[in-house]
Structure formats: structure tokens, C-alpha cells
Amino acid sequence: MKKITIFIALIGLAFSASAQEEKKWTLKECVQYALEHNISVKQSELDLESSKLDRIDAIGNLIPSLNGSASYSDNTGASINPTTNQFENEVYSSLTAGVSSSLTLFDGLANVRQLQRAKLSQLASQYQLEKMENDIALAVANSYLQVLLNKANFDAIKTQNDVTLQQLQRTQDLVDAGTLPKGDLLEIEATNANEQQQIVVAENNVKISLISLAQLLLVKDYETFQIVDEGYEVISTDIAELSPQEIIQNAQAKRPEVKLAEKSVELAEKDVQIAKGSYYPTLSAFFSYNTRYADNDFLDRSLTDQLWQNDGLSYGLQMSVPVFNGLTVRTNVKRNKINLERTEYQLEQAKLDLESNVYQAYVDARGAAKAYEAALSALKSQQLAFDYATDRYEVGLTNAFDFSQSKQRFDNAKINVNQAKYDYIFKLKVLELYFGVDPEDIKL
């Protein structure tokens, strides 16, 4: 019975390991995993959490403070009795306790504007996180497509080498029969050797690109990491049919770069207002309650009686008027105005950069589409030329060198189609992100 249990457990482990090895990642899974584990994204999330705490601090500045205090001491020699306020030269114990509260009534609206600034800062951190997620998603998509490209090139080279091996066997038979010269066989053998070398290089490129993608995702199991490499064809998208102006307008409304720059301007404006608040007086209200006890009370009152009868209140208003502070307020206001002007320029530059980037992405996508169509047309022509060269070679109307040249042009045409195809797909993904597609929703 024990052996059967062990046998079943081993089968279960083997099945589990096999299932894990067969796991293949889709692009969406890669993007989601990267957004959950990427260090830069995590840091941006921490910045967002920190900005939320700043907002709580700002709210706290608008409500009264409340503090309690208590002190117990043993006294020897000459000291002031807290219950009589007289000097006494004897040993006694005393206790004082109290609570105090204060509230800023007016400080040039600094506290109010600090809260407004904290809210703006939280939004800015949110936009920074969104920008980081977009950058990571685009990097993952690019790396993912690179793997697909390398796999497609590897398959194309391997398929064409199968054709070469067939021709090699046929040429060997014809040379043995004396129909073809040995030079044709040597030419085909050289082609085969060159293709075998290309297969090794292409296979290494696949492995390297998979490792690069795994590292980007922070996946440590490089050996079993694989992606879904089937069904990825060029998907027509309505976004590519829009005008650049429509895409730009949508990008300016949705993209985090411009929103982040706009919040930076608003933060700088708020900093100027806060700095100007230091020109105004500060008015605050205070309240305190205290009581005391001493064990040498001459009336011999109990602890409860003393705490009740020796208590006291104090309350009032306090005003601080700035007169001269070494010109620090004036220079601080000017410094924040300079920073405001700088952020306004940065906002203008962000809009120009976004417009330029969208135009570039639009032109790249349209150009990549034309390049892909041209590559498909070239492949069709090279296919016909290669079929023709094959027919002529098989009946002895062309030599092995001309046949190998035709085959090489056909192989290069297939690789060019792969390159153009995945370049076009990537350009479409860039355009989608600029249009405002959520990073986790990008698909192939």
C-alpha cells in the first residue's frame, strides 16, 4: 500500500511539472504580471501612498490639536509647593496634570492651500503611476514581439533548410547517375552548411529574447518560460484610420504626460499662494486645563479633593505679525514664481512633445503598413521566381549556383515579411496607447 501511494505521488509530481513546463504566456498575461511585479511600478505606487498620507497631514492641520501631560516628583530641600506656591524645606511628593488644545484660526490660508496642494499632489502621483504603467506595457509588448519575430525567423529558416535537404538528396542522386556535375552537389552542400549555421544563430536569438522578456517581467524560471506564438496576425484597427488631429486631441485628454504637467503647474501656483500667505499675521486660539496635588497639603485634603480644588483654566487668542524676517518671505515668493514659470514652459513642451510623438507614431504606423504590403508583394514575386528556378533546376536547365541564389532571395523575402509584420504590429500598439487604450487591454 505504501509503495502504491508513493507511485501515485510521483505520477502527480511528474504531471504537475509537465503542466508547468507547458504553460505559455499571452501578451496580456505578460503585461499584467509586469505591472504587478515591476520595481519601478511598485515605487510609483509607494509614491502614491505617500501622497495620500500628505493629504491626511494637511487635513490634520485644520482641526484642533489636543495634548495631555502629567508629572510626578519627589521633592527635598527648598522647593515650591504646587498647591500653595510657597517655598518649603521638607520632603514631599507632588503631581501635576493637564490637557491643552490649540487651533489656527488664520495663517494667510496656508493650511487650506496645503490641503489643496496635497490633493493635487495625489493626482500628480496617480498620473505618474499611469505613465510608468504605459512605459512598462510598451516595453513588454516590444520585447514580446521580438520573441515572436525571432521564432518566426527560426521557423522560416528551418523550413527552407528542409527544402535544401530534399534538393541535396536529389542532387546527390543525379550526380551519382552522372546527370549533373559534382560542382552542383558542392554548391547545394555549401548552401546547407550556411543554413545550418543560420539555424543555430536563429535558435540562440529565440532563447536570448525569451530570457530578456523573462528578466523584464522578473520571472526567474528562464528554462520553462515560453509565450504563445500562434495566431498573431496583423489586426486591422480603426485607430490607424483616424486623422492625426483626432488622435492628438484624444491623447491630450487621456494621456498622463500632459495631465502630469498640468498638475505640476497647479502645484506651483499653489506653492506661490502658500508662500504669499507668510505676509499675513497668524491668529490662533488656545485652551488649557491643569490641576495639581501634594502629599504635604496643610489642609490635609485627599487626592480627589486636591485635584478638584487646585485645577485651573486658561484660554485666549494669540497673534503673530511678521515684521522683518531677513527678506526670506519675499525671496521665497519670488523663487516659487520662478518655479511656476518653469512648470508652465514644461507643460507647453509636454504638449508639443505629445503632438510630435503622436504624429511620429501615426506616420510610423502608416509607413509600417505600406512596408508590410510591399514585403508581402515581394515575397509573392520571389515565391514565383523560386518555383520557376526549382522547375528549371530539376530538369537541368539551370545550375546549382543560380538555384541557390534564387532560394536565398526567397528566404530573405520571408524574413523581410516577418520583420515588417511585427514592426507594423508594434507601431499599431504604440498608436493605441497614445489613443488612450489601457495598458492591460493591449492585445495582438
Burial category of 221 from C-beta neighbours within 10 Å (exposed 0-12, middle 13-18, buried 19 and up): exposed
Q: What is the mean pLDDT of residues 374-390?
A: 91
Q: Provide the CATH number for the domain around residue 72.
A: 2.20.200.10
Check whether residue 305 and residue 435 sit in a common domain.
no
Check whether residue 415 and residue 327 sit in a common domain.
yes
Q: What is the mean pLDDT of residues 396-423?
A: 85
Structural domain contains residue 18: no
AA identity, residue 332: N
Check whether residue 272 and residue 369 sit in a common domain.
yes
Q: What is the mean pLDDT of residues 419-439?
A: 80
Query: 223 lies in which domain range?
Result: 30-63+107-280+322-441
Q: ∠332-334-339 over CA atoms, to 5°?
A: 95
CB-CB contact of 275 with 332 (8 Å)? yes
Check whether residue 231 and residue 341 sit in a common domain.
yes
CA 104/CA 59 separation, integer angstroms: 13
What are 50-99's pLDDT values in tens digits?
999 999 999 999 999 999 999 998 888 777 777 677 777 778 888 999 99
Structural domain contains residue 1: no
- The predicted pLDDT at position 327 comes to 83
CA 298/CA 113 separation, integer angstroms: 55
How many angstroms separate the Cα of 325 from the Cα of each of 284, 322, 330?
20, 7, 9
pLDDT of 16 > 60? The answer is no
- The predicted pLDDT at position 19 comes to 43
Q: How confident is the model at residue 2 (pLDDT cuts 50, 70, 90)?
A: very low
Please give the radius of gyration of the chain, using alpha carbons only, rounded to the nearest integer.
39
Closest among 344, 351, 349 to 272, alpha carbons compared: 344
Structural domain contains residue 3: no
Residues 6+ apart with CB under 8 A from 36: none
pLDDT of 9 > 70? The answer is no
What are 310-360's pLDDT values in tens digits?
889 999 999 999 888 778 889 999 999 999 999 999 999 999 998 998 888
Structural domain contains residue 20: no
Pick the range with the lowest mean pLDDT from 19-23, 89-93, 414-418, 421-425: 19-23
Pick the range with the lowest mean pLDDT from 62-66, 157-161, 211-215, 233-237: 233-237
Predicted TM-score (pTM) of this structure: 0.76
CA 63/CA 101 separation, integer angstroms: 10
Query: How many domains does the structure of the chain reveal?
Result: 2
Closest among 30, 238, 295 to 147, alpha carbons compared: 30
pLDDT of 20 > 50? The answer is no
Q: What is the mean pLDDT of residues 225-249?
A: 76
Check whether residue 224 and residue 295 sit in a common domain.
no
Check whether residue 387 and residue 268 sit in a common domain.
yes
Pick the range with the lowest mean pLDDT from 32-36, 79-83, 101-105, 139-143: 79-83
Residues paired with residue 317 on neighbouring β-strands, in sequence order:
285
Could you tell me if residue 294 is left (phi over 0), alpha (psi between -120 and 50 degrees) or otherwise beta? beta
Check whether residue 252 and residue 203 sit in a common domain.
yes
Structural domain contains residue 21: no
Check whether residue 292 and residue 384 sit in a common domain.
no
The residue whose grid cell reads 505640476 is 264
Burial category of 201 from C-beta neighbours within 10 Å (exposed 0-12, middle 13-18, buried 19 and up): exposed
Check whether residue 37 and residue 140 sit in a common domain.
yes
Structural domain contains residue 2: no
Residues 6+ apart with CB under 8 A from 265: 340, 343, 344, 346, 347
Q: How confident is the model at residue 253 (pLDDT cuts 50, 70, 90)?
A: confident
Structural domain contains residue 19: no
Check whether residue 157 and residue 174 sit in a common domain.
yes
Residue after which a domain boundary falls, among 321, 345, 372: 321
Check whether residue 237 and residue 336 sit in a common domain.
yes
pLDDT of 443 > 60? The answer is no
Strands (E), 176-311: 282-294
Q: ∠349-351-354 over CA atoms, to 5°?
A: 105
Q: Please give the mean pLDDT across all residues of the chain.
A: 85
Residues 6+ apart with CB under 8 A from 362: 240, 244, 247, 431
